[in-house]
Structure 1
């Protein structure tokens, strides 16, 4: 059904929210938090899994790599799926798959079953965030979208940030299986509540799916992300041939995929509608988000290495030191959203990117004698204030000008490119760290300081990415929703953005 009472002042532009609307968003927020939390929960579990399942580190890494590849392949299809299926159907399918994968993972007798379980989990996770963001855009009045996007940013950024802490606590006292068995009841309860309370939002589009486009997503996005990951796995020790081949094929298929979507736009049946790039505000905000994600994902990976290899912290202590950053982001998200609604994005994004760059520089000049409390404060400022002031304003400002028929495609595009940026950031910073470490070691520097020099180099590159985002933020202006979007806006051409 369509929520007509949310569109009282004009077609496609909601002016007020009902209690039912808030219930829908609340259910989706809980479900999305659970599935995204699971994405990084494996990050500190690899040593335990290697021991219990009798696998090598390179084999065990596939539990994370396969998850990321599945997300990269499926997210581009969610724009189409969200327009063809009802809200309830998509929610039940996504969270049902996640629950099935989580149960299978908790009971897995060996590595092969656990890997299949992670792929099933990722299949459900891929749909949930685009579903949440599209629903917020459909139900929340434009004047309050910043506040609600602040809450969405908690799910997108805080859940993966606290994942390592949660898994560290579980592994300290329980079997690795409880990483899944503890999450399962929460996900199951959210699924039951959704079945009972969730209502359908928007209207279905009956166009058939283009199977050629679906087939292209596998090499286009899957091989591209795989290639980037292989560069990171190579650690800078020469040019990995596998990574080059995967990237070349991936880029070629990506170009074919893009041209096919442009052709399909004429018939109104693209799998991923690229007309979202016709909106200036979307493009500007997207570039800032991607640069921030390169720095953030690399930081989340490099900082634990620094804390454990240079400062000698345990995985649990590392997770606890990083926890305040996630908590601060959770607190700041709605506050930053309200500030966006009142003042717009520019000042917030400039402060956020500036803080991110400064804190990365501070990490780049720290050493084994830097107090741990200071490192914790730097990380909290970087994540809680820095990334918080980037994600919420940029997401809201980028998606705001899109007409309703492009909401789901804009959300899917944003999430797809975030996955690519995360893989690129990880690969780039790990490779730079390894190259610099190797160069220092060959010059006679001791192992500890060679490692520290490599870590410093990766932090500085992250700082440069954030500094570029700072400059670009100065050109961002507050976007506005399209008047009469969805009915009055052209279905073939983007409405001129600010």
Structure 2
């Protein structure tokens, strides 16, 4: 019996039940990715760990994703859609249970890594499957639906987890998502179909090793740079080793008959431009997600729950607009969305670089919402337009590269933002006669945040220049 539906038998595919299976599972997976962020302070106390240690709840998740997603292009060609979908849900369920009952930080970290394996399998599979089962003229709308899930899940995560922490304990964040994951698994078992053609290319274990060392080392190096400093020997070593591994990995992929990750995708100019726009935008998103909670809680002095609620409208608006942007992309193409998107991001980031300790929460909601509108105009159109230029055989490689570089760029953006903020904060304190004054903590951090937003301004300006060269890829 065939393990995949042939391209000549597309009528047997029921695309919308398949898409719904991915959307349900994707929402829960991405919600759990950010849900514990608001509990880090509570975890430090209950599990008796330092701030640098507790950050591994996030770093470990990103590291696992950075290692696994590049390999997904190979896995998609070896295992059927149903097999990978079920595996991703089983990993997510197991990880949530282990994390929820964790008696120590080590067990909690293990559970988070297992969860990350589930998400790392699911996201590239979702994009690849959507490209196969939907025609090119409907992909904008479909990618808009995926964008709705991908952006709204992290948006509601902090506020929802903040509410759970206030009423229950941090464990309930994990326990409450298990029933939804089980429902996703059952729904997928009923409706998921095998849609990919399995080619089972030769496995090059050296490429897997180099990819793991390269992408994983880069995520690790930048993730710990904000805490340990750029001069730390572990940071320098991790980044140098990872970059060397990626250079060797790239040359090897170009020479192999069956590469693990086919880098010929970069021969397609709209894909290359699209991936650069996505990377710039994702760095803006992740750097903003680390800067604004710090500014809201220390600079303005509001609670963690209130900070989550301030950031929720922007994330929700981003998700809600994704469907509209998808339809506009199908109708008008990418250029009239991406260029205005970067302009809007540029304006909002400029204003965010001028916030003070007196700035109102309402103004932050407005600026963050405007920024997220700009993000929604760029992310899906740039990604979909780039993937549209690729031949079907390169879909797994294209989706794997985009999602890998998003993880890497996220860790890079976060590390750079923290570094710039810390350096600016230190410079501010050098000119203060009494650094121990109660108000200095908020004013110094706000000064650091103001400077750190210049990173986003530079990225948005670069993206704006790139957007002028984008053309519809049909």
User: TM-score, normalized by length of structure 1?
Assistant: 0.91
Q: Pick from 393, 408, 427 the counterpart of residue 381 of structure 2.
A: 393
Q: Pick from 207, 212, 221 the counterpart of residue 218 of structure 1.
A: 212
Partner of 1:290: 279
Over 3 Å counting, the alpha-carbon distance change for 1:82 and 1:449 in structure 2 is same
Over 3 Å counting, the alpha-carbon distance change for 1:410 and 1:436 in structure 2 is same
Q: Pick from 164, 174, 181 the counterpart of residue 180 of structure 1.
A: 174
Structural mapping, 1:85-124, within 5 Å = 85-124=79-118
Partner of 1:431: 419
Q: How many residues align?
A: 466
State the shift of 1:329 in Å.
1.3
Q: Does 1:204 find its partner at 2:193?
A: no
SS at match of 2:231: coil
Q: Does 1:346 find its partner at 2:338?
A: no
SS at match of 2:432: coil
Q: Greater shift after overlay, 279-288 or 449-458?
A: 449-458
In 2, distance between residues paired with 1:70 and 1:92? Answer: 19
In 2, distance between residues paired with 1:190 and 1:447? Answer: 45
In 2, distance between residues paired with 1:85 and 1:254? Answer: 26
Q: Pick from 298, 303, 315 the counterpart of residue 314 of structure 1.
A: 303
Partner of 2:346: 357
In 2, distance between residues paired with 1:145 and 1:18? Answer: 19
Partner of 2:410: 422
Q: Does 1:262 find its partner at 2:251?
A: no
**Would you say the 8 A contact 2:13–2:193 is kept in 1?**
no
Q: Pick from 44, 47, 52 the counterpart of residue 50 of structure 1.
A: 44
SS at match of 1:54: coil
Partner of 1:484: none
Partner of 2:68: 74
What are the ranges of 5 or more consecutive residues in structure 1 without an aligned counterpart? 9-13, 481-498
* RMSD between superposed Cα atoms in Å: 1.6
> More helix per residue: 1 or 2?
2
Partner of 1:195: 189
State the shift of 1:58 in Å.
1.6
State the shift of 1:3 in Å.
4.1
State the shift of 1:424 in Å.
0.7
User: TM-score, normalized by length of structure 2?
Assistant: 0.95
Deviating 4+ runs (over 3 angstroms): 1-4, 445-448
In 2, distance between residues paired with 1:46 and 1:2? Answer: 43
Over 3 Å counting, the alpha-carbon distance change for 1:479 and 1:442 in structure 2 is same
**Would you say the 8 A contact 2:357–2:443 is kept in 1?**
no
* Deviation readout 1:384-425 (Å, 9 max, x if unpaired): x11100111011101001111111110000000001110110
Over 3 Å counting, the alpha-carbon distance change for 1:18 and 1:147 in structure 2 is farther
In 2, distance between residues paired with 1:230 and 1:117? Answer: 21
State the shift of 1:160 in Å.
2.0
In 1, distance between residues paired with 2:225 and 2:381? Answer: 32
In 2, distance between residues paired with 1:53 and 1:448? Answer: 28
Partner of 2:268: 279
State the shift of 1:342 in Å.
0.8
State the shift of 1:7 in Å.
5.7
**Would you say the 8 A contact 1:345–1:397 is kept in 2?**
yes
In 2, distance between residues paired with 1:133 and 1:194? Answer: 16
**Would you say the 8 A contact 1:437–1:453 is kept in 2?**
yes
**Would you say the 8 A contact 1:292–1:390 is kept in 2?**
yes
In 2, distance between residues paired with 1:426 and 1:216? Answer: 24
SS at match of 1:275: helix
State the shift of 1:447 in Å.
4.1
Q: Pick from 376, 381, 387 the counterpart of residue 365 of structure 2.
A: 376
What are the ranges of 5 or more consecutive residues in structure 2 without an aligned counterpart? 434-439
Partner of 2:138: 144
